[in-house]
Structure 1
Amino acid sequence: MPVRVVESSAPSQVSGANSGETLPQVCSLLSVGQAFSGTQNVSSLQKDEAWRVNVRIQGCDLEHGYLCGTMEALNVPMADTPVVTFWEGEIIDTKNYTFFTGKWEATQEDDIRHWTKFPSFRPYLSRVEVDGGKSLDLSDSEFIYMRWKEQHFVNVGTDCGLTIAGFYYVCFSCSDGCISGFYYDPNSSPFQKLELKSTNEGRSGFSFSSYELQ
């Protein structure tokens, strides 16, 4: 949620599917109701700044590479109240989605530049450069790679001083529930880092037996 006022983009659509049948491993820490907390570094050349961030997963459908949730930024200087957004996520499973984004103003070069920020991704680099990693089997990986796209503000208007025009490249660790991410928006400060850890809060939410984005 970097500082820049723009209108929210339209909901994302399923793309990038192929004939692969592998799915990410089932991970108890990536499930409906799970909460995470941490920070997003929004520093610029003018000043160092980090916002406290809470995330909760509200829906998850591994079969279709989909999840969704809410993100709350707590100490945003220009906002009188914590800013809550609703986001939808694409799970990189090489079945529904590959490492190539193909939208949101992200080129394949932008994708490679951001994914290689995660050390766990680097062994996949050569194959991803060819076709986005369509031939990779990620089912046994300790890490789940995702894109999170904020769709709309929940409790404030679009005049709140923040933008949700960009999206997050996300790496989730199944071993400890830690999340790291980098925000991409060509009109915002580059490589704003998101760092979250799983919390022990009670779980609540909903799940999908079948869900397709329209």
Structure 2
Amino acid sequence: MPVRVVESSAPSQVSGANSGKTSPPACTLLSVGQAFSGTQNVSSLQKDEAWRVNVRIQGCDLEHGYLCGTMEALNVPMADTPVVTFWEGEIVDTINYTFFTGKWEATPEDDKKHWDKFPSFSPFKSQVEIDGGKNVDLSNYPYIFMRWKEQYFVNVGTDCGLTIAGFYYVCFSCSDGSISGFYYDPNSSPFQKLELKSTNDGRSGFSFSSYELQ
């Protein structure tokens, strides 16, 4: 949910999906109720800036490559309170979704540039460059690749000075529950990095305030 800076936009492409493969393995650290905390770097050419961020998983359906949750950004300069958004995610499983986004103004070139920033992506780079990785087997890979798209603001209005027009490229580690991501929006500062770590088991430690999702 970065501050928007005007740049040029890019056209979207049509994505593909495949069938007949095995879904990513179930991971206890990627489950309903699990919480994560960390930072999002929103630095620009004018100044260095990072927001504290908390995320909680509200729904997860590996079979259909879907998950959703809430994201809370703290110490946002133009907001009087923490800003909470609801997001929905696509799990790259080459069954329901490939590495090519095909929407949200992301071209295959944008996809490749962002995925390439994750070291765990390197084994699939050559195949993804061909067809988005339609035939890549991710069923036993210790990392899960996702896209998170914020859908709406939960506790503030759209005039809060932030934008949720873009989305996050996300890499999740099944071994320790750490998350790294990069925000993409052609009208925002590029490659804003999201870094989160699992907070206990999601049932203790940090917890969100009570918000009603509609």
TM-score, normalised by the number of residues in structure 2: 0.89
- Distance between the aligned counterparts of 1:36 and 1:174, measured in 2? 13
Partner of 1:86: 86
Question: 19-28 or 140-149: which moved more?
Answer: 19-28
Unaligned segments of structure 1, at least 5 residues: 6-14, 205-214
TM-score scaled by length of structure 1: 0.89
How many residue pairs get aligned? The number is 196
**Structure 2 counterparts to residues 53-72 of structure 1, below 5 A:** 53-72=53-72
Name the stretch that deviates more: 145-154 or 17-26: 17-26
Residue aligning to 1:42: 42
Deviations, residues 130-165 of structure 1 (Å, cap 9, x unaligned): 110010110010000000000000000000000000
Cα deviation, 1:29-75, whole Å, max 9, x if unaligned, reads 00000000000000000000000000000000000000000000011
Structure 1 residue aligned with 2:51: 51
- Residue identity in the other structure for 2:123: P
Q: Distance in 2 between matches of 1:125 and 1:158?
A: 37
Paired residue type of 2:44: S
Counterparts of 2:163 and 2:4 in 1: how far apart (Å)?
A: 5
Distance 2:174 2:39 in 1: 19
Deviation by residue 1:153-198 (Cα, 9 ceiling, x = unmatched): 0000000000000000000000000000000000000000000000
CA distance in 1, matches of 2:111, 2:17: 17
Runs of 4+ in 1 over 4 A off after TM superposition: none
Aligned to 1:212: none
Give the Cα–Cα distance (whole angstroms) in 1 for the partners of residues 66 and 116 of structure 2. 23
Cα pair 2:19 2:96 within 8 Å, conserved? no
Contact 1:16 1:95 in 2 (8 A): no
**Alignment identity in percent?**
86
Structure 2 letter corresponding to 1:52: R
Distance 1:65 1:132 in 2: 16
Q: What is the CA-CA distance between 1:22 and the residue it aligns to? A: 1.5
